[in-house]
Structure formats: C-alpha cells, structure tokens
Structure 1
C-alpha cells in the first residue's frame, strides 16, 4: 500500500509553531502517513520544533514550493535566476533539517500566468539551475520532484512528456516527475498514458479533484488513474491536495486562485479523502492481481 499524504493547507494557512502543531496532529488524526508542507513563508517556521513534532507523531514529511517572477530560474536575467536558485536551496535545506527526503513543486520557474512562451535561454537557465540544485539536494539526501502544472501556472512543464524531456536534460539520479490529477485533467489527453510513459521516473503524486474540493465531487476519472499507478507498480507517496477560501495563505491562495469556499471542515474533508484514496488504490491493486 502506498503511503498517503495530505497538504498542510487543508489544516492551516501558515507554518507558525501553533499552525504546525495543528497541521501535524490533524494529519495523524485523519489517518495519513505524510504531511506536505508548503514553504511559501518559511520565516515563521520553527525547524527544530517541526522536526520534533514529525517524529512525535510518527509521520513522514515532504516540502513543496513554487517560485515568484522576481526569483524565476527560467528567466533570461542572471540576477533573477540566482534569486530563484537561492530560494530552492533554502527549500532543500529546510526539508533536510526537518527530516524530510522530498522537495517538489514548480522548481523550474515561477508559479503564475506567463504572458509569453519561455525563451530558449530561459529554458536553458532552468535546466542549469536544476542541475545545480540536484547536486545540492543529493548531498542532503533529498529527492526533487518536478511538478507538472497547468498552463496558467507555468509556461514550461504542462505535460508528463515535457517533464520527462527535462529530466533527460538535467540527468540527475535524484530528480523525478511529480504528477497531479488536477493539472492532468486540464492538460493531458487521459489519466493512463502519462503515468505509463513516466514508469519508474514517476516519484510523487498529488490527488486533487477537478474543482479542488471533495474527491468524487468533480469530473476526474480516478479509477483510471489508480489503475495506471497499479500498472507501473508505483510505490511512492500519494498526497491529497484541496484548497478552500476557509484556509487562507495570502501568497499561495491568490497564486492558486482560491476564490471560492469548497469546504469548511478540513477534518471531514481529509478523512473522506483518505478513505477515497485508500479504496481506489486497493481496488486497482486487486484488479491487477486478478488480471
């Protein structure tokens, strides 16, 4: 059975000590194995406390982030690229310090709506930056996940095929593809082919409904998705992601366009998601056995 994770924004909008306590205790109470912490305001974090709480609750932890336009490693401007690399190295260092082994997200550019395609030079800057941070991460035993997101959040990696091409260029042993059903629903032709194409290079998965609310309340074909994971014998983490205007992180909520209230009760949402994901993964595994 895959380890199941939940994104911290189901519980709290920041990672202050008080919020971190809530995030980790709630993650455990809802039955999850992994907490994913979004490093969009790392200044408020107490890293020693976070590490202790992760151990106390017997959880695993992973981190994620996206870059801003003034710290964009896919920029043509060297100073902007350097600021992006510094933020990524900070994220890797934080992940390692709190006992995490995974740092993913939009590590290859800004998270936002671009007004033009990436330039040849910008793409090369992104590849070179990833090579550099992959090396940095390897020394800290951290795996990097390139999250494939939709066209309104990146102009670089919108499909699994694009991510695999970038993995080939970066050519580092600790860089993997990170797929997310919410983004796949917008950009991919189905939920099977991209997973089969990734195979062993798929290293992390986000489960999000088409409206980013309760699983099963939207249009995503989760059955096909879970069957595809079973077909490649995916052993990695499967993390639930959902956002509502109930829980606000000023930077992230606006960047992700969280304008509507899709739920009020994070615990009810998360327990439902855990059951939904475990059920789907188990059903797909059993179907595979009997095939």
Structure 2
C-alpha cells in the first residue's frame, strides 16, 4: 500500500480553522493518507479540534518546520540555542497532541541563507541540542527527521553524508534523515546513490519537482529515485510537496523564493501527482520482481 501524503501549502498558506479544514477535506477526497503541516501556532487554532478532525478524515499527520534566525541551535550564542531548543520541544508536543509521530524540516539550524560557513562550535551546539530534544521526544513517540536542504536554505546539512555524520555524532537512535528530491537534485552528485546511502536512517521523504511544479515537468530522475527507495525497502510516508505563488505563505515564499505560478489549479496538480507517484512506485516494484534471480 502506498503511504502517500501531501503538504498543506498545496492547499493553503493560512492556519485558520477554515483553511485547515479545507486542506484536510481536499487531501482526503483525493485519496491522500497523510497531510503535512508546517509548525503551527496553537494561539491561532484549537489543537484538540485539529486532532479530532484529522481522525475524522482518517488522515495521519507530519509536522515540519524551520527555526528562525534568533533561535538557531547551530549558533554560538547560548541564548539563541536555548530559544531554539524550547521551540523544538514545543513542536514535538504539538506533533504528539495532533497524533503525529514525526517532526521534520530544518530543525538543526535556522531556515535562511547564511553569509558564512558553519563553525565547529555551532555544529556541536546543534548536535548536542537535538540529541537532548530527541531523547525527550522519544517518550512522546515522536522522531526527529533532519531535512537536508540546499545551500541557499541552510549552511549546515545539505547532503546525506553530512546528515549521517550528524546522527552518528549525536548518538541518538531517534534522529533520522528527511530527504527531498528537489534538494537532492541540487546538492547530491547522485541522488539515487544518496537514497541508498541513507538506508534504514531514512525516516521521511519529500517528492518535489526541480521547478517546484507538476511532477514530470522538470529534470529530476524519478525512476532512479523510486528504484533506490525500493532497493532499501523504504515503506514509510512519502509526501508530495509543490509550491506556487498561487498559494502564498509570506515567510516560506521569501525563504524559498516562490516568485511565480508553477500551477494555478491545486486540485489538478495534487491529483496528477498522486497518479504519477503511484505509477513510478509500480514501475519500481515490477522491475524488482522481474530482476529477481530464479
């Protein structure tokens, strides 16, 4: 069975009850089994209400986020690191209360364009902080998943190899990798090899096109990616992520440079994405069966 999710920013840039309800209804109607929400401000919605609506729609949930510059756990400033740790603990609690089991995204640094290389002290601060948060999160049934993004969105972790080194240094068994085809297409020499390298440390997977739009309309080799996912036995959630200026979240639009309409019909892009992903998964499975040794 395909464990297929969709990012809420395909549907809405808002977090009002009405906006969240619409996002859940459309996700459910199109046959997605999970919805990904960015870090939600509990002051703007009722956590218990959202958890109940997710249950009513039969939707699983993943929460993702990026840390703000003044709460950068990869900073050398102790106050910033402390603020980041508190934000992460809060995000873990919200994920738990919504019934989720994964917190992902840029949780190891600020989500912005840096103007300098990371320092060893900054790296060590980030690793130590996430090790502590992961230990507490484990008791809540929530794992931490490091989204390896491109160089314009963090200076700390851009590749699978870096992410694995980070996890090893942390000593945690509750920190995993969150890979994304859009970012791997920029940073990895061989994205399919990077997926194989991740192996059982792959905890969450984003599927997005090189132009952030319709799957199959860019240059990403999805056939190789799905072959690699099948080869490592990945059977967890994979989530379609696509951004267009048709749906605006001010912070994300600036940070991720969403300056044009890659689509105008979000129902169409979501429907076609689901069909595309299921077809690619089917191809990978059929090839694997055909290539079995008699």
TM-score after normalising by structure 2:
0.97
The match for 1:126 is 126
Structure 2 partner of 1:103? 103
Deviation readout 1:42-61 (Å, 9 max, x if unpaired): 53132111101110001101
2:188 equivalent to 1:179: no
Structure 2: how far apart are the matches of 1:43 and 1:226?
A: 39
Q: Determine the C-alpha separation between the residues in 1 that align with 2:45 and 2:172.
A: 30
CA contact (8 A) 2:15 2:40 kept: no
Taking the aligned partners of 1:120 and 1:221, their CA distance within structure 2 comes to 35
Q: What SS class does the counterpart of residue 87 from structure 1 fall into?
A: helix
> Contact conserved, 1:71 with 1:80, CA < 8 A, in 2?
yes
- Aligned residue for 1:21, secondary structure, equals helix
Q: What residue in structure 2 maps to residue 154 of structure 1?
A: 154
* Aligned residue pairs, count: 291
Q: How far apart, in 1, do the equivalents of 2:208 and 2:6 lie?
A: 11
The 5 Å alignment of 1:39-118 reads: 39=39, 41-118=41-118
Aligned to 2:265: 265
> Which ranges of structure 2 fall in alignment gaps of 5 or more residues?
none
Shift of 1:41: 4.3
1:21-43 CA-partner distances (Å, limit 9, x unpaired): 01111111111011000116453
How far 1:249 moved relative to its partner? 1.0
Structure 1 residue 175: deviation in Å? 1.1
Per the alignment, residue 247 of structure 2 pairs with: 247
> Residues of 2 paired with 1:216 and 1:135: CA distance?
39
Q: Is the 8 A contact 1:204 1:238 kept in 2?
A: yes
Q: Deviations over 1:195-215 (max 9, x none)?
A: 111111111100010010000
Q: Is the 8 Å Cα contact of residues 65 and 106 (structure 1) preserved in structure 2? A: yes
Is the contact made by 1:212 and 1:243 (CA closer than 8 Å) also made in structure 2? yes
* 1:166 aligned partner: 166
Q: Report the RMSD for the aligned CA atoms in angstroms.
A: 1.0
Aligned-pair distance for 1:219? 0.5
- Corresponding residue for 1:36? 36
3-state SS in 2 of match to 1:269: helix
- Gaps (5+ residues) in structure 1? none
Q: 1:13: how far off?
A: 0.5
Check whether the contact 1:206–1:238 (CA below 8 A) recurs between aligned residues: yes
Q: Secondary structure at the match of 1:192?
A: helix
TM-score by length of 1: 0.98
Equivalent position SS for 1:108: strand
* 2:219 corresponding residue in structure 1: 219
Provide the C-alpha distance between the structure 2 equivalents of 1:214 and 1:231, rounded to a whole number of angstroms: 25
Q: Deviations over 1:37-87 (max 9, x none)?
A: 011645313211110111000110110000111110000000011111111
Query: Matches of 1:238 and 1:259 in 2, distance apart?
Result: 26
